[in-house]
Amino acid sequence: MARPIDIVIEKVRRTYGAWRRNTPIEAMREDWDNLFWSDATGVVGEPVMAGGVDAMWIVAPGATRERVFLYLHGGGYRVGSIRSHFDLIARISAASGAAGFAINYRLAPEHPFPAAIEDVLTTCEWLVGQGVSLDHVALAGDSAGGNLALAGTLKLRAKGGATPAALVLLSPWTDLELRGKSYETRADSDPIHQRAMLAATAAGYLGGADPADPLASPLNAAFAGFPPMLIQVGDRETVLDDSRNLAAKAEAAGVSVQLEVWDEMIHVFQQFPDELDEAREAIAHIGAFLRERLL
């Protein structure tokens, strides 16, 4: 009998395996959304425009908009959307009692670096303009979205104003230079992401920009003064060291870091709560962390 994680892997592989070099990006985006879309929670989203950025409130029953997590979806900067991550955001809202706020930031290759980061900043400024203090806002994201959460915090810190109260990072892609040892040590165990694929994805996002720029590879940043972080990552991931190295560097700078490495789990396993007990447990951990940090 197949294990739940093997069922999930096969589900993801069917989507990836259908793509060819000539598959239109629009088709890939639709496939990605369909892979993850679910409205099983019954939560109804409220679309808004946040300073010109397509956005949506995703608020579970009983959650309050006085505490907010701004969720930045993953997808290698080229696929993914509010739709693909709706279910995960709704579940985090229910677990945390905080309102989810998600955006469709601009995607590459049409809008390369730093367009997505600019959209994060615009959204944060819009939230503040709506009377939401960043003291009560967490930035959350998975994979490329975790990168954007870190880059957005860097930009906010550079502006000299308030920064988010916390960061929630799920399998964050923090190093577009791809220097982690896990790109080799986990190559056989990661069923989805290999170094060559990620290198091509990074190049498509950067559009010729320097991957060493801390806004592109936040692992290269200085983290003094950063808010507390919760980092969750699967032990099978090639990007495992992106999380481990981030945690070590942030802790050395005095940042409170909670690093969770989940045995046998794959990239952003939290998106499969119907199949995986671990996904449901991880979401509960996120909820507890946000309840503690978003006072």
Which residues are the active-site residues?
143
Strands 229-234 vs 64-72: parallel, antiparallel or unpaired: unpaired
Q: How many CB atoms lie within 10 A of CB 253?
A: 14
H helix or E strand, kind and range, residue 234: strand 229-234
Full DSSP string of 87-118: HHHHHHHHHHSEEEEEE----TTTS-TTHHHH
Task: Please give the structure tokens belonging to residue 287.
Answer: 């909820």
- As a residue count, the chain comes to 295
> Nearest-CA neighbor of 50 among 161, 127, 107, 135?
127
- 139 beta partners: 70, 167
Report the side by side order of strands in the sheet with 166-170.
Answer: 46-50, 53-58, 98-103, 64-72, 137-142, 166-170, 229-234, 257-262
Rounded-to-integer distance, Cα 79 and Cα 185, Å? 27
Angle at 238 between CA 265 and CA 156, to 5 degrees: 95
